[in-house]
Chain A
Amino acid sequence: MGENGAGKTTLLKHLNGLLKPSRGSVKVDSVDTRETTTATLARKVGLVFQNPDSMFFCTSVMEEVMYGLTMFGYSEEEARERCREVLERLDLWSLRDKSPFILSGGEKKRLTIAVVMAWSPKYLVIDEPTSGQDREGKQRLLQTIETIMGEGRSIILSTHDVEFVADLEPRVVLMSQGRVVAEGEAREILTDRALLEKASLLVPQIPSLFLELNRRCGVEVEHRLLRVEDAVCALRREVLPRLRGGVR
């Protein structure tokens, strides 16, 4: 996470070797990215671009998904099977014969993810997954990401959508002006107002609420909470009794 121009996309493009480091080295499962090609790395590291339009080059949604599968040597039958599965999962099956370019913004974004998910890379890297997504799109994305995480694969997201990340509670690496400024659990980082301001990010609504409660009502409750359920518990257990009890 980090402000615009913090270097998130540049970092992600190093993960599958689209960019090679000019100093230092990038290693993917102990393979130096400078010593192999992107095409080889891509099998393991699936990168979803930020801008869908720059990712499409086929004439239909179906072909777009099939492209990577045929490149990686899947048999026709298996490729079709996988294609169908991934398109259904992301609710794009009905659009399979359409041109990728006439899809809506949200559909395009989902297609970019489908395209890469199709060959189940060990690491799924998604640049700005939530940009241009409505509530339903985000919800679906969240479910997909949770499923993939359940399958024991890793997902790396770049985003400044703090609320989306708050729901996932992942490990967060905060970047600013090309450098990593903080790293740790979402619960620690996304509730640290000073740190977030440094990276030009908003504090998510829930910790924001607790920070304000602490400041205005002097209740001094733990503010490092990200989920609605946790917030409800904390409010019920600690805040409400004190407010009722006449504490200012």
Chain B
Amino acid sequence: MSFSIVAGLRYRSLDTAIHRLDPRVKLLISASFLINALLFNEYFCGMGTVASIIVASQLSLLSIAKSHRSLLTTMRGAIPLIAIVYVLNSLGGWAEGIPLEEQLYRATASSARFLAFITSFSLFFLTTSPDEFGLLLFKLRVPYTYAFVFVAAVRLAPILAEEVQDIVDAQRSRGRELEGRNPIRILRGVVSIFTPLLINSLRRAYEMAEALEVKCFGASQKRTSYRELRMRRTDYAVMLVTIAFEVLVLYLRALGVLNGLP
């Protein structure tokens, strides 16, 4: 079982300029990436160009955060999906009867855009710890109970992946064939994982609820926080640059400056 596609979303604890940025700023940057990917949605209006720039800038920002390898792993894991996007787009173009070069261009641009979508939030997820994420939600006035649910879910994702691996290992050790090349046999094997995974997850949820009660979850209405998010000067500066950049992009888009570009 491989989970390489989500590798690009798993937080790694490092100390770099990007990791130190306030999560609100990182959320803004990632959101701006996503908006731009959404905005340039027409062929020959800069769709391929913008998407490629987004992916390239994600990679360079993450190389500052020393996490570009994780993103590359995600991208590698996404190859089958990208291939599907590519093939579907080529087929679509072929059905419409447009020339071959344009078909290929469309397929390439759509694949780049797809890649831009799936990578747009990796800057945020790769460099923001679940705790910071919780603080962020708290700052955004999400009630603590809900914020906690969300953070717990994020934090449990790797544990769940481990759980899947355990169940797979347990079944393999008892003679269920989950390796090899027979796809039908493997698919049947995968289905057999779901029930135990569900049961184990519910059990884990109960355990966690008990642990929370032991630690007095919800004992007082007014909850204080050990750590609070505070914007520093750098954070404000980066935020301003991001906003200015986004305004510029919106303006360029409105003027149609990129029209005619691939």
Contact = CB atoms under 8 A, between A and B. Distances in A.
Given A57-B196, A101-B203, A43 B167 contact: no
A71 B167 contact: no
Contact of B174 (A42, A51, A53): A42
Interface in B159-216: 163, 166-167, 169-180, 195-196, 199-200, 203
B173 A54 contact: no
Given A57-B195, A101-B203, A72 B175 contact: yes
Interface string A29-58: 000000001110011001101010111111
Chain B interface residue number, banded = 20 to 34
B195 A18 contact: no
A119 B177 CA distance: 17
Contacts of A116: 173-174
A129 interface: no
A39 B178 contact: yes
B71 to A, nearest CB: 24
Given A37-B179, A57-B195, A57-B196, A115 B174 contact: yes
Contacts of B166: 51, 54-55
A191 interface: no
Given A57-B195, A57-B196, A39 B176 contact: yes
Contacts, number: 63
A46 to B, nearest CB: 8
B175 A39 contact: yes
Contacts of B203: 101
Interface string A51-94: 10111111000000001100110000000000000000000000
A191 to B, nearest CB: 35
B232 to A, nearest CB: 39
A57 B173 contact: no
Nearest to B170: A55
A18 B177 contact: no
A49 to B, nearest CB: 7
Interface residues of A, number: 26
A52 B177 CA distance: 21
A58 B195 CA distance: 9
Given A57-B195, A57-B196, A101-B203, A37 B170 contact: no
Nearest to A101: B203
Contacts of B200: 53, 57
B191 to A, nearest CB: 13
A16 interface: yes
A119 B174 CA distance: 9
Contact of B172 (A39, A53, A119): A39
B177 A39 contact: yes
A42 B178 CA distance: 13
Contacts of B175: 39, 42-43, 68, 71-72, 119
A112 to B, nearest CB: 9
Given A37-B180, A101-B203, A18 B169 contact: yes
Contact of A49 (B163, B170, B195): B170
Contacts of B170: 49, 54-57
Given A39-B179, A57-B196, A101-B203, A16 B167 contact: no
Interface of A: 13, 16, 18, 37-39, 42-43, 46-47, 49, 51, 53-58, 67-68, 71-72, 101, 115-116, 119
Closest 4 CB pairs of A and B: A57-B196, A71-B175, A54-B166, A68-B174
Given A18-B173, A39-B175, A57-B199, 9 more contacts: A42-B172, A53-B200, A54-B170, A55-B173, A57-B171, A57-B195, A68-B175, A71-B174, A101-B203
Interface of B: 163, 166-167, 169-180, 195-196, 199-200, 203
